[in-house]
Amino acid sequence: MKFIDEATIEVHAGNGGDGMASFRREKFVPRGGPDGGDGGRGGSIYAIADRNINTLIDYRYARIHRARSGEKGQGADCYGKGASDIVLRMPVGTVVSDLETGDVIADLDHHDERALLAKGGKGGLGNLHFKSSVNRAPRQFTRGEPGESRKLKLELKVLADVGLLGMPNAGKSTLIRAVSAARPKVADYPFTTLHPNLGVVRVDENRSFVVADIPGLIEGAAEGAGLGHQFLRHLARTRLLLHLVDIAPLDAGADPVKDAKAIVKELRKYDETLYRKPRWLVLNKADMLAPGLREKTAKKFVKDLGWKGKSFIISALTGEGCKALTYAIMEHLELHRSEDAKEKQVRKPQINADKRR
């Protein structure tokens, strides 16, 4: 199935039903008084996150969603029937924003999270509500309120712990195949990966993390060049970025250092927050170098790049160095997860204290 990560839809909530102006007309009940009921509530439209859905393809074709309006009020104190709500099921990780203002309405980042997209209108009041000692035969009633209408942009950001960055043919898909059960397409030409791939890496029986592979980036990606810029949003939720570099390119005229600097530059242009995420350097295709040249070539590359963070030498094709890399990633993620848990414990008493006040 083609990966669909963007869609534009319209949602129209139902209008409230009008109230009724009516009077009792029964035998042996003179001057029965008002008995007009209220109008029914219009249907609202909700979004709910569903982990069993992984694309927005349904909303690429079903663009307009309308809820029914509430029924009008009736005589004999009969209220109009309220309309049923509409629930739109979306993949976990969907961000819903107003197309005109750009305001984020909902960020559905966990299963069964529910968000109101368009509220149905309230029903109008019947003349039953307007009776008083001085107005015994009210003919007033109110109309139902209109439901909300919006144009929305749906944007899917995949939920992954680790994201892979790199030029086309840096070996990102080969790495995800080597460390997980995912089987993305691998070939000897650029832009083999056309949509994001997710793989679950199981380090031990009860220890695992999710890695995301996006299409390769090229210079000018922040302005729309290549394919990878369309999917950079998928790295926004990751905790760690792995910058893969082909340390032994077949093209004699290629400059891996220049390419690596170009990727970092494009990342910063696209999103400063993404640029500041923890990022490790992974020098791939070590199997293309003689064993005695690997350390020397890696040290020279790190020095020329001016890299001061963590770096690894691996061969995604043969699996060399991949195990050490996955264990280091797991330790990094577990450290951050424990820190997040501590922060939640610190915040919880403060929140409870604020509630008591």
Domain count for the chain: 2
Co-location of 151 and 238 in the same domain = no
Residue 152, helix vs strand vs coil: strand
Strand 162-166 and strand 6-12: the pairing is: unpaired
CA distance 215 to 169: 10
Residue 272 lies in a domain: yes
Q: Say whether both 34 and 112 belong to one domain.
A: yes
Contact 142, 154 (CB under 8 A): no
- φ/ψ of 66, rounded to 5, equals -120, 135
Provide the 10 A C-beta neighbour count for residue 284. 26
- Residue 355: inside a domain: no
How far is Cα 304 from Cα 306, in angstroms, rounded to an integer? 5
Q: How many CA atoms lie within 13 A of 306 on its CB side?
A: 3
Domain presence at residue 347: no
Same domain, yes or no, for 286 and 183?
yes
Which pLDDT score is estimated for 47?
92
**For residue 285, is it within any domain?**
yes
Identify the domain containing residue 167 by its residue range. 162-342
Supply the pLDDT for residue 216: 54
Non-local CB neighbours of 286 within 8 Å, separated by 6+ positions:
247, 248, 294, 298, 313, 314, 315, 320, 321
Which secondary-structure segment (H or E) carries 342?
A: helix 322-356
User: What is the predicted pLDDT for the residue at 155?
Assistant: 84
Do 225 and 141 fall within a single domain? Answer: no
Q: Which residue type does 202 have?
A: R
CA atoms of 54 and 7, how far apart (whole Å): 13
Give me the tens of pLDDT residue by residue for the chain, a chain 357 residues long. 345 678 899 999 999 999 998 888 777 777 778 888 899 999 999 999 988 887 788 888 889 999 999 999 888 888 989 999 999 999 888 889 998 888 889 888 888 899 999 999 999 999 888 888 888 888 889 999 999 999 999 988 777 788 888 887 778 888 888 888 766 656 554 445 555 677 788 888 778 888 877 765 555 544 544 444 556 666 777 888 888 888 887 777 778 888 888 888 877 877 788 788 888 998 888 888 888 888 888 888 888 888 888 888 988 888 888 888 889 989 888 887 776 666 656 555 554 555 455
Do 151 and 181 belong to one domain?
no
Supply the pTM of this predicted model.
0.66
DSSP at 107: E
HSE-up (13 A, CA, CB side) for residue 156: 23
- The answer to whether residues 255 and 269 belong to one domain is yes
3-state secondary structure of 199: strand
